[in-house]
């Protein structure tokens, strides 16, 4: 299966929101609603606003399989405002937001391909630090996924409603 990674744009917003909704549905079916709740993220004005803001501030990438959008992430120069309480890294960085895949493509490596692409884009920009944050609750599976893709844990934090989060970093 060939994975093509392309730049995304405003026209991709419906597909991106569809991927996020697909993830919520999958997480709920797995008995893991702690990450993103139980309702489609496309119905949350705050989430849609965050996705659009990150798209406007950064670069959007879409992984396609046979012409079908399969996964996405957005790369910006900083984390979201919800991490303003953490110390800054003290050097330029690229930050991953909204990594999500259409769950029909689970296990096909589309997320890992996007993470590798983000690392290469970051390196080519002359930046050596790539960071991401994620849900660290339940069984810690998402944190381990990022670790399997070359990231190491840095700061743990608590988000809104005592949401357990983890910042991870990768040197590129």
Taking the model in full, what pTM does it have? 0.95
- Among 95, 91, 61, 62, which Cα is nearest to 81's? 95
pLDDT of residue 154 exceeding 90: yes
- Angle, vertex CA 15, rays to CA 152 and CA 71, nearest 5: 30
pLDDT of residue 106 exceeding 90: no
- Cα separation, 12 vs 126, in Å, equals 27
What is the residue-averaged pLDDT of the chain? Answer: 95
- Angle, vertex CA 31, rays to CA 26 and CA 35, nearest 5: 70
| Per-residue confidence band for 1, with pLDDT thresholds at 50, 70 and 90 | confident
pLDDT in tens, 44-103: 999 999 999 999 999 999 999 999 999 999 999 999 999 999 999 999 999 999 999 998
For residue 61, the number of C-alpha atoms closer than 13 Å in the C-beta half-sphere is 24
Both tokens assigned to 90: 């003290």
Residue 159, SS3 per DSSP: strand
- Cα separation, 6 vs 72, in Å, equals 10
Class of domain 3-171: alpha beta
- Cα separation, 18 vs 126, in Å, equals 33
pLDDT of residue 135 exceeding 90: yes
Domain boundaries, the chain: 3-171
pLDDT of residue 163: 95
Residue position matching structure tokens 């910006």: 76
Beta bridge partners of 10: none
Q: Provide the residue count of the chain.
A: 172
Residue position matching structure tokens 């991709």: 12
- Cα separation, 130 vs 169, in Å, equals 6
- How far is C-alpha 1 from the chain's CA centre? 22
């Amino acid at each position: 299966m060939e994975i093509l990674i392309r730049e995304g744009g405003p026209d991709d917003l419906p597909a991106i929101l569809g991927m996020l909704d697909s993830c919520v549905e999958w997480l709920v079916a797995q008995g893991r609603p702690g990450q993103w709740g139980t309702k489609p993220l496309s119905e949350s004005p705050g989430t849609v606003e965050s996705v659009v803001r990150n798209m406007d501030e950064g670069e959007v990438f879409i992984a396609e399989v046979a012409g079908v959008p399969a996964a996405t992430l957005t790369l910006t120069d900083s984390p979201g405002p919800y991490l303003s309480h953490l110390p800054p890294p003290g050097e330029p960085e690229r930050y991953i937001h909204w990594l999500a895949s259409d769950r029909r493509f689970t296990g096909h490596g589309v997320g890992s391909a996007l993470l590798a692409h983000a690392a290469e884009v970051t390196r080519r920009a002359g930046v050596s630090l790539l960071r991401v944050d994620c849900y660290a609750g339940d069984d810690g599976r998402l944190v381990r996924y990022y670790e399997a893709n070359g990231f190491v844990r840095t700061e743990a934090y608590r988000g809104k409603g005592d949401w357990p989060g983890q910042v991870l970093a990768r040197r590129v």
